[in-house]
Structure 1
């Protein structure tokens, strides 16, 4: 948790709303000018990207990833202090460290139907209601309104409520402006709304997941060492250049951050990266072996 009292208070207040309802909106999280500049940088990729295929992605929708490699401004979204602090606090009970799960741009074009309501963490076969695997954040690039397909969320459908029958009520359209951020848990029921206007609705989704899960976006391919070397160390760690104890995600038995130092690959000694309880068990076993007659 942050040692900055104002930041810690902002994290606690937002987290309280998030855990109560399963979602919340952080207003004016970033300057609108920052988001406008980012939208302009991504405009060529939106224009060049083909429409998706399949009923879930939506055939009137465009999606593309690798956003940290497309714009330096993305780091301010991915590493937003309040958002990342909330992600770490919410997911901490179930992991040693969090990871970036996805950074994806989405444009919902005119005529797009509403998306099927779903829970994002159902991508992993974890028991419903048992744990939180994911925190997703939607950053609008254009205004989100009910008529242009703003994300629909269902309050109180998170956590153990994921075991309940689907709600009969209509979802709440998360109306936002550029600079705002919609946070919702991986267990919260949600879906894109229908776009009934003549303009595309554009936004970005940034997701954080438990560090031991396979991420939605293959971060090592999205940001290979040659790209990640330009990242701040904390950002490189978030996209996967660190181990998750015990020894998960290693490279030749060491933290993959070693790949950020040089192109040269040399023989390496595998080094334990264990949880304290595991290290204690091994120490006790070794002591018992020494003391055995």
Structure 2
């Protein structure tokens, strides 16, 4: 992907709250991933609840289920989008979710919602989240393709009647459906005879509590098998200043073969904080 493409996709995200990136990965590669996840889809029971759905299957821990998921999470163009959208409000971004979803025949349309509402606090000054839905099967208007409501990332809604007409994210495997955490969306109804399958990879601000607990999904014995850029997205690194530490040190030390029994706390400050602290130390000397 080129810098021109990145700029165009960022402009679409800013204007509409979403963008569909065609051919982000080869279609055959995505089909192979679908086959790798087939057993997990078959074994997973239907969700329970009017939000998650009654004819929908969901499962996480995708990085332990198929090696190809690493390439979804680390897709350079998608990471560049996430960094551009989120990077001004945090020192580093994190993986918020890696979840597979299958909407089966007979499922109703999902309640329109904005994913950022999982967190409290005042919204509107910056984005909290960028989600990327990767279709594993063709997404159509009839089989439950994600519905996206353009402009809702900029316009607070008081009632469902205020929603604009949705855009149906109809596309082929290999495309990446990117939408902001502030954008109202929802899965569509599946009125066909076959499931609609996809994978959602989400990136959020590094100082937020993620949707999927990474240290339970990928404990150190599992995470040490992953490349460093991936373990950092999973939280095995500090978000300065000092956030997410282990005994006052970077949690990446838990990925080493041996961990000292006793550790000394070590500052992990942003450069501006370290500079202020150095000035204070000189003044106090």
How many corresponding residue pairs? 284
Q: Calculate the TM-score normalised by the size of structure 2.
A: 0.96
Residue equivalent to 1:62: 57
Which residue in 1 is equivalent to 2:135?
140
155, 162, 165: which one aligns with 1:161: 155
Counterpart mapping for 1:134-283 below 5 A: 134-158=129-153, 160-162=154-156, 166=160, 167-283=162-278
Query: What residue is the counterpart of 2:17 in the other structure?
Result: 22
Q: Alpha-carbon deviations, 1:175-230, whole Å to 9, x = none?
A: 01111110000000100111111111100000000000000000111111111111
2:76: which partner in 1? 81
- Pick the aligned partner of 1:34 from 29, 35, 51: 29
Match of 1:235, SS? helix
CA contact (8 A) 1:129 1:162 kept: no
1:268 Cα deviation from its structure 2 partner: 1.6
Contact 1:11 1:83 in 2 (8 A): no
Tell me the equivalent position of 2:7: 12
Alignment-derived partner of residue 115 in structure 1: 110
Q: Is the 8 A contact 2:139 2:171 kept in 1?
A: yes
In structure 2, the residue corresponding to 1:250 is in which secondary structure? Answer: coil
TM-score by length of 1: 0.93
RMSD between aligned alpha carbons? 1.4
Could you give the per-residue CA deviations for residues 106-135 of structure 1, whole angstroms, max 9, x where no partner exists? 001111001110000110013132220000
CA-CA distance at 1:147 after TM superposition:
0.4
Whether contact under 8 Å (1:10, 1:82) holds in the other structure is no
List runs of 5+ in structure 2 lacking aligned partners. Answer: none
- What SS is found at the alignment partner of 1:282? helix
Superposed counterparts of 1:282-293, under 5 Å: 282-290=277-285
Runs of 4+ in 1 over 4 A off after TM superposition: 163-166
Correspondence for 2:100: 105
Q: Is the 8 A contact 2:157 2:163 kept in 1?
A: no
CA distance in 2 between partners of 1:55 and 1:7 (Å): 41
Retained in 2: the 8 A contact 1:254–1:269?
A: yes
